[in-house]
Structure 1
């Protein structure tokens, strides 16, 4: 077998060397030394890393399709996606500036781009009331400018500042998931939240813990993936509990002619709704009614 593995075509050998390095390629492929534990772990890490990068490039596509097909972002938390996108962007910039292998962070680049689109769609499809749809264009403009400014700032920040920001991704990851978890719990539904995206994130965090420990060894990055894993598992549990359930709506019984204090009603500008309650009149006694001639009659009392 070694006679075959040592004479593979150049494009196969070059690809193998570029992925796992000359040392591990010679040991595992050419010499078939499956007892080389270090190279086996390194090769497994590289394979998982490349798989995660490829999966990350399409991970949020089902979520995008759900929003576009329904023309609604119901159930998705805007603060959650803003914070999650910022955390992805910081991790991408931090890894790139520290010359980490692309296979250890590449999916964060694709997730940043996909999350940015989803965030803009959440703004574009307001879900609460017609009043919120009046300033969509201005909100989209502000969000676009803020995104561009954040990207430029992350690019020009020195490495020392990026290290602090990377440490800040720990609370960012926590606070990016809590609004979505809270919203799911209150609505007793996950709305347009994509099950594929949540399950993929759980699998990706598990694999990233292994690849980061094997290839990078950065405790800050490892802690971030560990926290993200726990929070994604919580989202996965909510998907399982609320599967197929519609959003919970509270209805309150009110008296006839009265309006509940919690009831929200939208009315056109300069108009208001007025409830007129007509009190029913008691019947008038016959002896008090007027005759057709206009005279009133009364019972004679002896």
Structure 2
């Protein structure tokens, strides 16, 4: 039996690189040689044992994380999926059952019986030398989208979708809470739509990175008296939605992408009296193609958000909070399993 190296989480704080059976593509499936895999907050929550799916029993150890990735298709099943062989790709995290009404309506990301690559349902993730996924989940990467940007399509889809839902037009003023990966990408997409963008947060390095990227950024306790047409919450702060209700203009929109560790409390009377629209987004699935197009034409550049790319052997250290001494200012660390 052929094996490969992969990151395996055996319990809270227990992460190892070990040999596992290499995937074999069945009908409708492909195997991808992984070139880049991003480590995100969800992976960190699995590592520390706080991830909501662990608490609810929907996920359990051992598990193999990694849902932000890019690579090249190295083998396929015998059907139409063989056309993907040799192509550079990334893929959707959300794998619906394809049998329910939600899937039929193109909403597989909220399918009740979905898998999530590296997250839910035991579908192995991409912090490994190879990952197997359904061919139906693939998105081709043009030559103008490199491996690093390809692994930023999944988080970029969340951010692109948030910016679209804010219904921004040239001259709209939008506040983006959270200078992390999702927040900074959302700010970049909002700027590409012609909006006046203000990034708000508590992380001084994150705020400085936002400024270095040409964005206006404010510490949360130093925000001037501005009103906003829309607000995007890309944080895990339970108090941010309430602050957003206070800040947004009547008739405005609040887009919630982040997940807090405890319930967020808002005054629903204010939602009515200010005629507000509040939207929650679970996934970037509906916006992945648009995200690739934006990366390809240069209107959004995700590469400055990647601080470093390290070998697979360092993945457990990254989960534990390690950053290379020469890492840049970006919030994201990538793994290159070929190293």
Query: Structure 1-normalised TM-score?
Result: 0.28
Larger Rg belongs to: 1
Structure with the bigger percentage of strand: 2
Query: Structure 2-normalised TM-score?
Result: 0.26
